[in-house]
Structure 1
Amino acid sequence: MPHFICITCGTQFAETAGEPGHCPVCDDERQYVGHGGQQWTTLDRQRRTHRNRIEPEADGLLGIGTEPAFAINERALLVRAPGGNLLWDCIALVDDDTVARVNQAGGIRAIAISHPHYYSGMVEWSRAFGDVPILLHAADREWVMRDAPAIEYWEGETRALWDDMMLVRCGGHFAGGTVAHVPHLHEGRGALLTGDVIQVAMDNRHVGFMRSFPNYIPLSARAVRAIEAAVEPYPFDSIHGAWWGRSIATDARAALARSVDRYIQALEGVYDGR
């Protein structure tokens, strides 16, 4: 039986004889069901119509995204590290060409995902690279639509990885919303990989925060301050977001502080645009 994939959010479901009746991820207020109603595809179908683009995001960091655009259209990041590569976030499509190119770059030791909107094809990706572990925060377990033995649900505020990398629970967008701290990137100045838990703005000079981006539901000032506090202990000079070209290349800690202040001033009605 096929594992159907939601066309709107990219989530792959447990196998069923027919299309699922609905997508709980899209029914949630943080997502949406399009005007055309719920629609589905499969990995086999997607492999016939799409391909993955793989190119450097920074030194030691490869972006992996699908073309033409599919679902939320995030791109994953492959962190190249001495102790093994980390796949940060995920996409629905994995095919033979992608596997070959990722293996040329050193393969994957584990997969870690920021939040449920990017769970997508995580089980297929794990299996394609030898059933590598999938690290998800336990607070978001209810949003896993295809479970697998490879999934490891971690709890608490941090999950240490190898080479001093760290997963940090920030909450916000989802209760288990997570960012990755990668200290060896950018010549040892460090980077945060944030998905859209900390969303890099279009100007690549600020970040933003939302409970729902498509439905324009903001986070509270308290939640935003908690995100800032969660990453404060970690040195970083850059932030890499969820889409191509959405990165703050340098002085990202100051950009985060500036953005948090601006956001809270706007909530309180005292932001004057300066």
Structure 2
Amino acid sequence: MSTELVQCPTCGVERDAADPPAVCPICADERQYVAPDGQRWIVPDRESPITLRELEPGLWGLEVTDGVGIGQLAKLIVTADGCVMYDVPAAVTPDAVEAVRALGPMRAIIPSHPHMFGLQSLWSAALDDAPVFVSEADAAWLGHRPSALVPWSGILNPIPGVTASQPGGHFPGSSVVHWEGSDGAGVLLAGDTIMVNPDRATVSFLRSYPNRLPLSADVVERIAAHVARYDFDRIYSNFSLRIDRDAAAAVQRSAQRHASWVRGEFDHLTGPG
């Protein structure tokens, strides 16, 4: 293929084209899956339409139509000090790049975990080599190292009012990003670390969402304790679902519910023993 990168069509993650493995390591892992028709490698998706839409003042989503990969809705925090991209689309087009550029300079690209690497090196290169911050704990999953790669751990403050940290869980380096919000009420971007449920009132915590692997009670309580440091009224996970009010309390209630179920406190609701 006449490109230095290829892309797995199942997870959408970029990889060096020189010697791609027989099977995508990210898809072969128990948190993901290999496509029923087997492994393929394709040239990076530069054609799928990408729509930039405002989710709330100062927060935008990048929605890919009919693209490859998992279908994440990448988020853009837009402030007077510049922009932060949280999670990365598995497609990139000139029109989408220009739309993002129009919002302001990109100060940081932060994938929440390896499933969300997408085409991060191509987005970085198209946005003046914006730094790509990958959790040190998850760097071994990189199939291609962006030229502007910055491994990180602990706390990251890419611009004023925005803080990234790593509660782990879904992956050891899984990160969340807290933003003060244009109204000061607080927004948590949680990726797959905390998944908003379809009821838009509760959240879930899983090692694998497609394969339904749970996390332990202790890990879920650790994640909940980690994000309790932040004040946030709203939470977004890595697709389109969000909780619009009292999200911090919803996370704590959901964590306690999860812990109670996996410890067996509700076994009496499941039928005769």
TM-score, structure 2 as length reference:
0.93
| 1:8 counterpart residue number | 10
Ranges of 4+ aligned residues in structure 1 off by more than 3 Å: none
| 1:78 counterpart residue number | 76
* Alpha-carbon offset, residue 110 of structure 1: 1.3
- Higher mean C-alpha displacement, 204-213 vs 68-77: 68-77
* Alpha-carbon offset, residue 264 of structure 1: 1.1
Quick one: distance in 2 between partners of 1:68 and 1:218? 30
1:224 aligns with 2:223: no
Matched letter for residue 209 of structure 1: F
Quick one: distance in 2 between partners of 1:188 and 1:16? 47
Quick one: distance in 2 between partners of 1:129 and 1:265? 45
| 2:115 counterpart residue number | 117
Question: Following superposition of structure 1 onto structure 2, how do residues 200-219 of structure 1 map, counting pairs within 5 Å?
Answer: 200-219=196-215
- State the SS of the aligned residue for 1:195: coil
Matched letter for residue 124 of structure 2: S
- Higher mean C-alpha displacement, 171-180 vs 225-234: 225-234
Q: Which one of 240, 245, 250 corresponds to residue 250 of structure 1?
A: 245
1:106 aligns with 2:104: yes
Query: Contact conserved, 1:4 with 1:20, CA < 8 A, in 2?
Result: no
Q: Which one of 217, 233, 238 corresponds to residue 234 of structure 2?
A: 238
After superposition, the C-alpha distances for 1:6-32 in whole angstroms (9 at most, x for unaligned) are 011001101327x64221111111111
- State the SS of the aligned residue for 1:41: coil
The runs of 5 or more residues in structure 1 that have no matched partner are none
After superposition, the C-alpha distances for 1:42-80 in whole angstroms (9 at most, x for unaligned) are 12xx334x1102111111111002101431110100100
1:269 aligns with 2:264: yes
Quick one: distance in 2 between partners of 1:128 and 1:15? 19
| 2:35 counterpart residue number | 34
Query: Contact conserved, 1:74 with 1:91, CA < 8 A, in 2?
Result: yes
* Alpha-carbon offset, residue 268 of structure 1: 1.9
| CA-atom RMSD in angstroms | 1.5
Query: Contact conserved, 1:30 with 1:215, CA < 8 A, in 2?
Result: yes
TM-score, structure 1 as length reference:
0.93
The runs of 5 or more residues in structure 2 that have no matched partner are none
Matched letter for residue 26 of structure 1: C
Quick one: distance in 2 between partners of 1:260 and 1:5? 35
Quick one: distance in 2 between partners of 1:266 and 1:125? 41
Quick one: distance in 2 between partners of 1:247 and 1:177? 19
Quick one: distance in 2 between partners of 1:101 and 1:149? 23
The size of the alignment, in residue pairs, is 266
| 1:139 counterpart residue number | 137
1:47 aligns with 2:46: yes
Query: Contact conserved, 1:139 with 1:176, CA < 8 A, in 2?
Result: yes
Quick one: distance in 2 between partners of 1:103 and 1:167? 22
Query: Contact conserved, 2:107 with 2:159, CA < 8 A, in 1?
Result: no
* Alpha-carbon offset, residue 251 of structure 1: 0.3
Quick one: distance in 2 between partners of 1:21 and 1:93? 22
Quick one: distance in 2 between partners of 1:259 and 1:21? 40
Q: Which one of 164, 171, 176 corresponds to residue 174 of structure 1?
A: 171
* Alpha-carbon offset, residue 161 of structure 1: 2.4
| 1:196 counterpart residue number | 192
Quick one: distance in 1 between partners of 2:33 and 2:206? 15
After superposition, the C-alpha distances for 1:206-251 in whole angstroms (9 at most, x for unaligned) are 110000111111001111111111111111111011112x011110
